[in-house]
């Protein structure tokens, strides 16, 4: 990844973990199969799990359209029926941008598996019509023939008493850098105001920042807007024009598409009263001028034509 640890830089960390052990500090293992300890109080501020405190019954169409297709990069456990009628539970997450499934009513998702001491991901296909249950953000959604009056609870992170050895969790963290300590660590702050020192190697390997590391790539308006809508939970820096024609730079993460109105809802990351906070904003897709996403910079313009025979 292309995170650069400078002062007043913003980072996102979207990382699946396997829980190796649980104590005051939680030992976790990532997809690079590196292990380290994270304070438990920090972890429960930033992680989603696959356990549920609530149950909601809903029709299959509503479950797929309103929940499953909008899990973004957060972890879930989906149960579906295989061709032989047996049920199969899969723990995983969607790829950024995969919010529609395909014309056959299927989604390709990353399944997380832990085998022989290694955490890995493998691509799987889920047929939407075969889904029977979905555990997501502390709620279990169960397919029901008709609508119900079940209370729908807001998404919530993993609770302290839910963390256990052998769990799969997804860390979704937004941070700002406070100061860099020589070449080894950077002091960062998250959305609940917790500050700690994180190794610069972890920032480089496990996080994305809002700084561009590559030359600008011109894109037409539709493709440029698609970069925003397909950015998942990852931090993104967007430059757009306000109504008065002046430029506005917004750092945040995509939240919701309002396709029929040609705009997106975004959670902007800002510092208020010395604290990192989120505030909901809207971006008109037709006004976007520039986007920085995962180290790439995309600008409004006419793409260069590829030479014949080039890949």
63 & 140 share domain: yes
- How far is the CA of 2 from the CAs of 5, 36, 201, in angstroms? 10, 21, 11
58 & 186 share domain: no
Higher pLDDT, 196 or 18: 18
User: In this model, does residue 182 exceed pLDDT 80?
Assistant: no
What value does the mean pLDDT of the chain take? 91
Express each pLDDT in 220-266 by its tens digit. Answer: 999 999 999 999 999 999 999 999 999 999 999 999 888 788 999 99
Please tell me the total count of domains within the chain. 3
pLDDT at 23: 93
Report the pLDDT averaged over residues 120-129: 95
76 & 126 share domain: yes
pLDDT at 6: 44
Does some domain include residue 305? no
Count of residues making up the chain: 311
pLDDT at 261: 85
Report the pLDDT averaged over residues 37-56: 93
User: In this model, does residue 272 exceed pLDDT 50?
Assistant: yes
User: In this model, does residue 52 exceed pLDDT 90?
Assistant: yes
Does some domain include residue 205? yes
Does some domain include residue 79? yes
61 & 138 share domain: yes
CATH code of residue 137: 2.30.30.520
42 & 175 share domain: yes
- Identify the three-state secondary structure at position 50: coil
226 & 182 share domain: no
Does some domain include residue 236? yes
68 & 132 share domain: yes
Range of the domain at 269: 217-300
pLDDT at 115: 96
- Identify the three-state secondary structure at position 271: strand
For the chain, report the end-to-end CA distance as a whole number of angstroms: 24
Q: Looking at 115, 130, 156, which one is the last position of a domain?
A: 156
Q: What is the pTM of this model?
A: 0.86
**What pLDDT band is residue 133 in, cutting at 50, 70 and 90?**
very high
User: In this model, does residue 94 exceed pLDDT 70?
Assistant: yes
Express each pLDDT in 149-161 by its tens digit. Answer: 999 999 999 999 9
Neighbouring residues of 59: CB distance < 8 A, sequence distance ≥ 6? 143, 144, 145, 146, 147
β-strand pairing of 106-115 with 118-127: antiparallel
Report the pLDDT averaged over residues 65-85: 94
**What pLDDT band is residue 5 in, cutting at 50, 70 and 90?**
very low
pLDDT at 104: 75
Does some domain include residue 83? yes
Cα 228 to Cα 207: distance, rounded to the nearest angstrom = 18
28 & 176 share domain: yes
270 & 249 share domain: yes
- Of 71, 11, 48, 258, nearest in space to 159 by CA: 48
67 & 141 share domain: yes
- How far is the CA of 305 from the CAs of 72, 206, 216, 219, 310, in angstroms? 32, 34, 15, 12, 10
228 & 258 share domain: yes
Q: Looking at 132, 156, 180, which one is the last position of a domain?
A: 156
């Amino acid at each position: 990844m292309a995170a650069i640890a400078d002062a007043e830089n913003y980072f996102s960390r979207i990382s699946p973990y396997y829980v190796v052990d649980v104590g005051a500090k939680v030992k976790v293992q990532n997809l690079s199969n590196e292990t380290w300890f994270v304070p438990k109080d920090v972890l429960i501020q930033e992680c989603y799990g696959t356990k549920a405190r609530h149950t909601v019954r809903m029709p299959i169409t509503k479950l797929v359209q309103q929940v499953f297709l909008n899990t973004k990069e957060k972890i879930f456990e989906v149960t579906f029926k295989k061709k032989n009628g047996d049920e199969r539970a899969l723990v995983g997450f969607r790829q950024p941008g995969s919010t529609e499934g395909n014309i056959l009513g299927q989604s390709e998702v990353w399944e997380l598996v832990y085998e022989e001491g290694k955490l890995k991901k493998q691509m799987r296909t889920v047929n939407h019509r075969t889904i029977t249950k979905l555990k997501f953000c502390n709620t279990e959604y169960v397919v029901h023939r008709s609508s119900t009056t079940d209370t729908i609870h807001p998404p919530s992170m993993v609770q302290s008493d839910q963390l256990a050895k052998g769990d799969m969790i997804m860390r979704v963290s937004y941070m700002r850098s406070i100061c860099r300590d020589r070449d080894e660590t950077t002091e960062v702050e998250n959305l609940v105001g917790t500050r700690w020192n994180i190794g610069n190697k972890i920032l480089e390997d496990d996080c994305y920042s809002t700084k561009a590391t590559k030359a600008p790539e011109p894109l037409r308006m539709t493709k440029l807007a698609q970069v925003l809508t397909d950015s998942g939970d990852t931090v993104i820096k967007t430059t757009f024009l306000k109504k008065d024609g002046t430029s506005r730079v917004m750092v945040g993460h995509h939240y919701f598409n309002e396709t029929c109105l040609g705009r997106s809802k975004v959670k902007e990351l800002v510092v208020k009263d010395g604290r990192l906070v989120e505030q909901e904003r809207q971006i008109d897709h037709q006004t976007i001028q520039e986007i920085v996403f995962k180290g790439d910079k995309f600008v409004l313009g006419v793409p260069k034509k590829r030479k014949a025979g080039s890949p």
